Amino acid sequence: MDLLQVEGLTKSFGGLTVLKNVSFTLEAGQKIALIGPNGAGKTTLLNVLNGLQPFESGRVFFCGQEITHAAPHKRVSMGLARSFQINSLFPNLSLLTNVLLAVQGTINCRFQMFRPFSAYTDNIAKAKELLESVGLWEKRNSMVAALSHGEQRQVEILLALASQPKLTMLDEPSAGLSRSETADFINVVRTLMRDTTIFFSAHDMELLFSLADWVLVLYYGEIIAQGKPEVIQHDAKVKEIYLGEA
Amino acid sequence: MSNKAQKASVVSNGSRWIRFAILIIIGLFLITAPQFVGTAFVSLVTKFFIFAILAMSLDIVFGYAGLWSFCHAAIFGVAGYTAGILAISRGITSFWLTAPAGILMAGVTAAIFGVIALRVSKLYFLIVTLALGQLIYGIALQWKSVTHGYDGLWNVPFPPDIGFANTPVSYYYFTLIVAVICAVLLYLITRSPFGHSLEGIRDNETRMRSLGYNTWLFKYIAFIIGGLFAGVAGIVYVHYNSVMNVYDVGLAASGIIILMLIIGGAGRLWGAIIGSLVFVFLQFFVSLFTPARWPLIMGVVFILVAMFLREGIWGYLNKLFNRVVNRGSATS
């Protein structure tokens, strides 16, 4: 079944068209990578799919329902979550609070006013499970600002996963990590992402080839190729514009 | 690592008892104070209670939800004027009618202002709320047949049908009870999932939207809650002061509540309480010696806090307290 269906998406900033008539579908259960050089429109595409940025034309369907004009929070409650390229956390709140905010994001208890945050043991159990999966439970009382960049990248992904989405969009999950950190990070992502469909933008070839089973190539706002990683790797056009001339 | 963490939790448990003890002492002092202090002091502390309610109500909006509202005194004033006008001009003597009417009007005002102001954020929100606040000021000034313009309302009596609240001392206790109820309710809100969501929205609204929160609705509810509690403060104020005039609802009045929050420490209810305490007492004692220079002194205090106590007086006291308690337990 098609999980996400995008038809003729066009988006411009002033006179600059960053997405030109982009159409594609994502199948459930896959790990799909979105690649392209800087300025290709990867982050813009994710922002548009997330509902954070308006666009001129095109339609978006998620699980068969049209979400073209749905607000971001509606999309999340339908199961479409995302992480950010530049850490977008709550640096002055504790790590546990960060994760709890993410866990309760799609649960009605978020409107509850007279019962303490800490009384929701189900949420805390869920947060514990998530934090333990990346080995950060011990640091739950630290302010997020005090964590290392690598740890913050992991939290970034945890927040996206906390609502148990059907489709998780990750924007450059390994951004800012060193080569050795990336290797560990890939393992973390792989275990976390076992059962969800992910759509991630990537710069890092290691991340791309070790995770993805389908690749979309975005070049100046247009999808110019898609296919299995091995195929894309040898695609002449992609080689020329993205991997550099061979 | 875990040993240290364990020790830290023991310390914080100990400090929790010390905090509780301090709270009890303050409580006992406030309950017994009218027995051994003069009327002027009773009146002054009553004023502090009222401004504490008002500052705490703004803290939900300003400190927790991160909305720079500049019309809080106007919403406070709507409640005060409503109750005052009903009591004096319309001859409705029942406090149980005038008080809910005033609070309801404050809530409705906040609900209307919220719809308009929450279309924008940050500085623009500040400007729009400032303009909306001045609208109330304008109405209070111009609608002379009802509000009496510059003269304002006079001789608003103590609530006649609350038997125990018709002298300055009994009204002190009445205000204390109202303030404690408000503080407890607001405290519960700040501890709840809703309260934490507000902090999340204040710190990173985009992320909160991407986590499934309808952030507009959260901010709107917070703004109305702030308005309702400001309404409670307005009601208690008009009966305390017996006078309500345009200065109570103007720009300067809204600014003063924000100053209280910044001096005490926004984003913590204790900050709001301490900010209003410092403001009310400083104003009283400075005005005794040099009434004309009160704004000057206030300005200096504000600059000092802004320069040296970024988290407000409460933030500083809290750090100091933790340092003293930790040192005490480290040596023992």
Amino acid at B135: L
Residue B167: per-residue pLDDT: 87
pLDDT at position A131 over 60: yes
A200, two tokens:
């991630």
Over pLDDT 70: what percentage of chain A? 98
- The mean-pLDDT minimum among A161-165, A177-181, B129-133 falls in A177-181
pLDDT at position B60 over 80: yes
pLDDT at position B80 over 90: yes
Over pLDDT 70: what percentage of chain B? 94
Q: How far is A83 from chain B (nearest CA, A)?
A: 8
pLDDT at position A93 over 90: yes
Residue A72: per-residue pLDDT: 94
pLDDT at position B260 over 90: yes
B180 vs B157: CA distance, rounded Å: 23
A45, two tokens:
């595409």
CATH fold of B38-319: ABC transporter involved in vitamin B12 uptake, BtuC (1.10.3470)
A194: Cα separation from own chain's centroid = 15
Calculate the alpha carbon distances from B265 to B183, B201, B259, B275 in Å: 16, 19, 10, 7
CB–CB of B263/B302 below 8 Å?
Answer: yes
Cα nearest neighbour of B1 on chain A: A138
B231: number of Cβ within 10 Å: 33
- Give every CB contact of residue A233 below 8 A, 6+ residues apart in sequence: A209, A243
Would the CB atoms of A88 and B207 count as touching at under 8 Å? Answer: yes
Residue A240: per-residue pLDDT: 80
CB–CB of A98/A155 below 8 Å?
Answer: yes
A156 vs B332: CA distance, rounded Å: 42
Reported confidence tier of residue A245, pLDDT bands at 50, 70, 90: low
What SS3 string covers B137-167? HHHHHHCHHHHCCCCCECCCCCCCCCCCCCC
Q: How far is A44 from chain B (nearest CA, A)?
A: 15
A8 vs A20: CA distance, rounded Å: 8
Tens-place pLDDT, residues B170-208 = 999 999 999 999 999 999 999 999 999 999 999 999 999
B153: Cα separation from own chain's centroid = 23
Would the CB atoms of B197 and A101 count as touching at under 8 Å? Answer: yes
Residue A70: per-residue pLDDT: 94
B91: Cα separation from own chain's centroid = 29
Which residue among A90, A105, A117 sits closest to B192, beta carbon to beta carbon? A117
Domain boundaries, chain B: 38-319
Reported confidence tier of residue B330, pLDDT bands at 50, 70, 90: low
Q: Which of A35, A46, A32 is nearest to A160 (CA)?
A: A46
CB–CB of B75/B241 below 8 Å?
Answer: no
State mean pLDDT over A54-80. Answer: 93
Which helix (H) or strand (E) segment holds residue A214: the answer is: strand A214-219
Chain A CB contacts of B194 under 8 Å are 110-113
Which residue among A50, A100, A117 sits closest to B210, beta carbon to beta carbon? A50
Which residues share a beta bridge with A227? A215
Give the range with max mean pLDDT: B60-64, B293-297, B309-313: B60-64
Reported confidence tier of residue A190, pLDDT bands at 50, 70, 90: confident
- The mean-pLDDT minimum among A168-182, B99-113, B172-186, B193-207 falls in A168-182
Would the CB atoms of B204 and A88 count as touching at under 8 Å? Answer: yes
pLDDT at position B5 over 60: no
Which helix (H) or strand (E) segment holds residue B54: the answer is: helix B39-59
Amino acid at B311: E
A106, two tokens:
């799609």
Tens-place pLDDT, residues A141-159 = 999 999 999 999 999 999 9
Residue B322: per-residue pLDDT: 85
Q: How far is B281 from chain A (nearest CA, A)?
A: 32
Chain B CB contacts of A109 under 8 Å are 193
Q: Which long-range contacts (CB under 8 A, 24 or more apart) does A11-19 make?
A: A11/A41, A11/A44, A11/A48, A11/A53, A11/A55, A11/A56, A12/A56, A17/A221, A18/A44, A18/A221, A19/A44, A19/A45, A19/A48, A19/A55, A19/A221
State mean pLDDT over B238-265. Answer: 93
B188 vs B169: CA distance, rounded Å: 29
What is the count of residue pairs from A and B with beta carbons less than 8 Å apart? 99
- Give every CB contact of residue B29 below 8 A, 6+ residues apart in sequence: none
Report the mean per-residue pLDDT for chain A: 90
Reported confidence tier of residue A244, pLDDT bands at 50, 70, 90: low
B323 vs B318: CA distance, rounded Å: 9
Tens-place pLDDT, residues B32-51 = 999 888 888 999 999 999 99
Report the alpha-carbon angle A43-A87-A241, nearest 5.
35
Amino acid at B321: F
ipTM: 0.91
Cα nearest neighbour of B191 on chain A: A116
Residue B52: per-residue pLDDT: 97
Question: Tokens 């309710």, residue?
Answer: B185
Q: What is the largest CA-CA distance in chain A?
A: 64
Chain A CB contacts of B215 under 8 Å are 73
Tens-place pLDDT, residues B24-34 = 999 999 999 99
pLDDT at position B209 over 90: yes
Which residue among A50, A90, A118 sits closest to B203, beta carbon to beta carbon? A90
Would the CB atoms of A117 and B195 count as touching at under 8 Å? Answer: yes
Chain A CB contacts of B188 under 8 Å are 113-114, 116
State mean pLDDT over A117-133. Answer: 93
pLDDT at position B7 over 50: no
Interface residues from chain A to B (CB-CB < 8 Å): 50-52, 71-73, 76-77, 81-82, 84, 88-93, 97, 100-102, 104-106, 109-118, 120, 138, 141, 159-160, 162-163
State mean pLDDT over A74-96. Answer: 94
Residue A37: per-residue pLDDT: 85
- The mean-pLDDT minimum among A64-73, A137-146, B295-304 falls in B295-304
Which residue among B185, B194, B207 sits closest to A112, beta carbon to beta carbon? B194
Which residues share a beta bridge with A33? A200, A215
Residue B327: per-residue pLDDT: 76
pLDDT at position B8 over 60: no
Reported confidence tier of residue A242, pLDDT bands at 50, 70, 90: low
- Give every CB contact of residue B320 below 8 A, 6+ residues apart in sequence: none
Tens-place pLDDT, residues A22-43 = 999 999 989 999 998 888 899 9
The domains of chain A, with CATH numbers, are 2-88+147-243 (3.40.50.300)
Report the mean per-residue pLDDT for chain B: 90
